[in-house]
Structure 1
Amino acid sequence: MNSAMRGVARQGRFDGKVAMVTGAGSGMGAAVARQLVGEGARAVVLADVNAEGVKGVAEELAVGHAVVLDVSEADAVDSAVAEVVRQFGRLDIVVHAAGVDDPEAKQLIADALVEGRQPEVTDRLGNESWRRIMRINLDGTFHVLRAAVRAMRPVGAGAIVVVGSSSVFDTPVGYPHYAASKAGVHAMSQAVAKEVIASGIRVNVVAPGPTETGMAARTPAALRSGFADPRVRPYATPEEIADIALFLSSEAAANLVGAVLLANGGRFTG
Structure 2
Amino acid sequence: MDAEGTGRGRFEGRIALVTGAGSGIGAAVARGLDAEGAKAVVLADIDGPAAASVAKEVTSGHAVALDVADAGQVDAAVDEVVRAHGRLDVVVHAAGVDDPVAKRWLAEALVADRPPEVTARLGDGAWQRVLRINLDGTFHVLRAALRAMMPNRSGSVVTVSSSAAFDALVGYPHYAASKAGAQALSQSVAKEAIAFGVRVNTVAPGPTETAMTAKNPEVMRKGFTDPRVRPFATPEEIAAIALFLASDEAANLVGAVLLANGGRFTA
Q: TM-score scaled by structure 2?
A: 0.98
Distance 1:21 1:259 in 2: 19
Deviations 1:130-186 (A, max 9, x none): 000011000000000000000000000000000000001110000000000001001
What does residue 116 of structure 1 align with?
A: 113
Matched with 1:222 is 219
The residue number in structure 2 matching 1:233 is 230
The answer on whether the counterparts of 2:158 and 2:242 sit within 8 Å (CA) in structure 1 is yes
Q: Is 1:158–1:201's contact at 8 Å kept on the other side of the alignment?
A: yes
Counterpart of 1:221, as a letter, is: E
Aligned pair count reads 267
Residue of 166, 184, 192 corresponding to 1:169: 166
After TM superposition, list the pairs within 5 Å mapping 1:1-270 onto structure 2: 11-270=8-267
Of stretches 9-18 and 160-169 in structure 1, the one that deviates more from structure 2 is 9-18
Does the CA contact (< 8 Å) of 2:7 and 2:37 recur in 1?
A: no
CA distance in 2, matches of 1:91, 1:267: 36
Shift of 1:5: 9.2
Alpha-carbon deviation of 1:60?
1.5
Contact 1:7–1:39 (8 Å) recurs in 2: no
Cα 1:40–1:199 change in 2 (3 A) is same
Contact 1:11 1:38 in 2 (8 A): no
C-alpha displacement of 1:53 = 0.4
Q: 1:165 to 1:10 in 2, by over 3 A?
A: farther
Tell me the amino acid that sits aligned with residue 247 of structure 1: F
Summarize the Cα distance change of 1:8–1:218 in structure 2 as closer, same or farther, 3 Å threshold: farther
Which portions of structure 1, spanning 4 or more consecutive aligned residues, are displaced by more than 6 angstroms?
Answer: 4-10
Q: Distance in 1 between matches of 2:223 and 2:26?
A: 25
Equivalent AA in structure 2 for residue 74 of structure 1: A
Offset of residue 62 of structure 1: 1.3
Distance 1:21 1:166, change over 3 A: same
> Which secondary structure does the structure 1 equivalent of 2:102 belong to?
helix
Inter-partner Cα distance in structure 1 for 2:198 and 2:2:
30
Structure 2: 5+ residue stretches without partners: none
Report if aligned partners of 1:7, 1:38 keep a CA contact under 8 Å in 2: no
Separation (CA, whole Å) in 1 of partners of 2:202 and 2:257: 5
SS in 2 for 1:60: coil
Q: CA deviation at 1:129?
A: 0.2
Q: Give the aligned CA root-mean-square deviation in angstroms.
A: 1.5
Query: How many Å separate the matches in 1 of 2:113 and 2:68?
Result: 38
Map Cα deviations across residues 71-110 of structure 1 (whole Å, 9 max, x no partner): 0000110000000000011100000000000000011111
- Secondary structure at the counterpart of residue 166 of structure 2: helix
| Letter of the structure 1 residue corresponding to residue 158 of structure 2 | V
* TM-score (norm. length: structure 1): 0.96
